[in-house]
Amino acid sequence: MHIVAIVAAAGSGFRMESELPKQFLALGDTTVLGHSLDAFDRHPRVDEIIVVLPTELTSRYAADLARRRTPTRVVGGGPRRQDSVAMGFALVPHHADLVAVHDAARPFVSAAVIDRTLDAALENGAAIAALVAQDTVKLVDTADGLPIVDTTLPRDTIYLAQTPQVFRRSVLEDGLAFGAAGMEVTDEAMLVERVGHTVRHQ
């Protein structure tokens, strides 16, 4: 079983008026990205890590990342999240069984969550970490130009997608190919759903 983690760190989200994207902000003795990488670097089932960075930062971080315990490579990202993940996926070896995609800005992922998501993807081909919605969710109709509540959705059917999102290599390849044709999505699971694969949540 060969498992590759793609850590998506090419986003440009900012917090606290910093000049750096939030994944590069200090958190304890490292950065937000550092904690996310540690979770996969220390995980006994992960064989390789691919870090997708803003292109202009790849040379700055490549040497440090190469010294990690788990073999780690760096690649520059693209204009959209799905483009960045596709660039990371291009480095995934053909013999890989599972590919885990994780947002660098989620530094507190546990080994248990990684394990459960890996196991679910082994069974189903695709699985995501998800949280049960705690807030009441309204479906709003804006067809007439005014935001009118159409219905209240039952909370027990609403889950908030998290990462990691784990896929068999061929399943993610199908989804990314669909995205390359112009489909705009907010996560990899959405691509995989659109090509007809079921996605489990954990």
Q: State pTM to two decimals.
A: 0.92
Residue with tokens 């700055």: 60
Q: Given the structure tokens 């909370």, which residue do they identify?
A: 155
pLDDT, position 18: 57
Please tell me what DSSP assigns to residue 46: -
Phi and psi for 180 in degrees, rounded to 5?
-65, -20
Instruction: Tell me how many helices (H) and strands (E) the chain has.
Output: 6, 11
What pLDDT sits at residue 21?
A: 75
CB atoms within 10 A of CB 93: 10
Close Cβ partners of 135 (under 8 Å, ≥ 6 residues apart): 155
Tokens representing residue 166 in the block: 């784990």
Task: Provide the sign of the torsion angle of the four alpha carbons 68, 73, 77, 82, taken in this order.
Answer: negative
pLDDT of residue 17: 56
CA dihedral 154, 155, 156, 159 (to 10 degrees): 120
- Is residue 118 within 8 A of residue 202, CB to CB? The reply is no
Number of Cβ atoms within 10 Å of the Cβ of 59: 11
Per-residue pLDDT of the chain (202 residues; tens, 9 = 90+): 999 999 999 876 544 555 677 887 878 888 899 999 999 999 999 999 999 999 988 888 888 888 899 999 999 999 989 999 999 999 999 999 999 999 999 999 999 999 999 999 999 999 999 999 999 999 999 888 889 999 999 999 999 999 999 999 999 999 999 888 878 899 999 999 999 999 999 8
C-alpha span between 146 and 89 (Å, rounded): 42
**Domain formed by 3-197, architecture:** Alpha-Beta Complex (3.90)
